[in-house]
Amino acid sequence: MRDPVLSVLDLSPVPSGTRTSEALHETVELARTVERAGYRRMWLAEHHGIPSVASSSPEILIGAAAAATSTLRLGSGGIMLPNHSPLKVAETFRALAGLYPDRIDLGIGRAPGTDPRTAIALRRSREALTADDFPEQFSELRGYVDGFPADHPFAGIVAVPDDIPLPPVWILASSYYGGQAAAAFGTGFAYAGHFGGADPGEATRIYRQGFRPSDAAGAQEPHVILAAAVMCSEDPERARAMGRAHALSMARLRTGNPGPLPSPEEAMAHDWSAIELQVEQGMAPKMTAGTPDQVRDDLERRAREADADEIMLVTPIHDTLERRRSYELVAEAFGVSGPAVASAAPSLAQA
């Protein structure tokens, strides 16, 4: 199997002791860094009400990062479709594609990206929160671009600008359902290997075996992205310490005590509870932390086991310079040189 393509998923992490808005500026600076390093694409996440994450409006960050770069593909990782009007999503991403041709991706998820109370505030009703209508929402999104049947209630409504195709679409998932949906819709598939509970290899198998090309989806070929939490340093102990700080942040979130991203020193001094240690143990298989060679070997293994074409690195590190350096070290370990030429779907890796 060839080396997987390298990409980035950024949540605009908020380090302890900093202002939330600083994280937004750091995301733009990170886009410049990873473009120079040769990464293929950078996606921005949608989360709400989480003190350690500033990325609540990925479409805004996509525009800012695209304006600061020239070859890097920018996209959503993802837009949580049930939180939004499908028409507004189609309009927004057609506008981005018009401003930055051949550089925009539309990654779509179905989770709220937040806690239930905030989700109700986003979706404006408990009924919307419990509705299981993702396929209908996706079809409506496509309808504003490809057209509706004549008897559809929204027939004739078109997402403007109407002379721009919708960017390549990807379905995001942390379960097997996402692989099934991406296969049925004929889109790319991105699996959240940094926190998902399903087996990535099985999720990919479901996707690849069930994939049906769709003209409505732009006749994309099957393509699998595997997201992975990655902490890289020339000092292996420092890499592990950065990984433990990320684990503490996740443990706090999952135990109902979220806060800003702690530093490795904070994690070292922290009095870990039994349940926090349990979360850390559960996170260990989803995280790669070590020297550049160690990280490369582990990511190659993970890509091979998941039959993934692309590895999307998630690197929430407290110190911004260490964070940027982590991405650079991984790119160097894989022999990547930048800037990469923007491409919607790289050639598939062959087993």
pLDDT at 127: 63
Work out the angle at residue 215's Cα, subtended by the Cα atoms of residues 110 and 57, and round it to the nearest 5 degrees: 30
ω before 161 within 30° of 0 (cis)? yes
Tell me how far apart the alpha carbons of residues 302 and 295 are, in angstroms, rounded to a whole number: 10
Each residue of 294-332: pLDDT tens digit? 999 999 999 999 999 999 999 999 999 999 999 999 999
Give the whole-number percent of the chain exceeding pLDDT 90. 84
pLDDT at 235: 98
Round the average pLDDT of the chain to a whole number and report it: 92
Q: Which helix (H) or strand (E) holds 108?
A: strand 104-109
Q: Is the pLDDT of residue 40 over 50?
A: yes
Tell me how far apart the alpha carbons of residues 67 and 65 are, in angstroms, rounded to a whole number: 5
Point out the least confidently predicted range of 26-30, 128-132, 245-249. 128-132
For residue 213, what pLDDT band results from cuts at 50, 70 and 90? confident
Residue 14 phi/psi, 5° resolution? -110, 100
pLDDT at 148: 96
Tell me how far apart the alpha carbons of residues 298 and 345 are, in angstroms, rounded to a whole number: 24
What's the token pair of residue 291?
């020297």
Give the whole-number percent of the chain exceeding pLDDT 70. 91
Determine contact, residues 112/81, Cβ cutoff 8 Å: no
Q: Is the pLDDT of residue 217 over 60?
A: no
Cβ-proximal residues to 282 (8 Å cutoff; 6+ apart), any chain? none
Does the pTM surpass 0.95? The reply is no
Tell me how far apart the alpha carbons of residues 154 and 150 are, in angstroms, rounded to a whole number: 9
Determine contact, residues 35/68, Cβ cutoff 8 Å: no
What is the DSSP secondary-structure string of 131-191?
A: ---HHHHHHHHHHHHH---TTSTTTT--PSSTTSPPPPEEEEESSHHHHHHHHHHT-EEEE
Residue with token string 């950024």: 10
pLDDT at 350: 28
HSE (CB half, 13 Å, CA atoms) of 42? 33
List domains and CATH numbers for the chain: 5-237+288-333 (3.20.20.30)
pLDDT at 349: 31
pLDDT at 240: 97
- Quick one: which of 10, 58, 56, 54 has its CA closest to 33? 10
pLDDT at 129: 61
Q: Which helix (H) or strand (E) holds 76?
A: strand 73-80
For residue 225, what pLDDT band results from cuts at 50, 70 and 90? very high
Tell me how far apart the alpha carbons of residues 161 and 171 are, in angstroms, rounded to a whole number: 23
Each residue of 106-160: pLDDT tens digit? 999 988 767 778 778 877 776 656 667 899 999 999 999 999 999 999 999 999 9
CB atoms within 10 A of CB 216: 18
Determine contact, residues 309/227, Cβ cutoff 8 Å: no
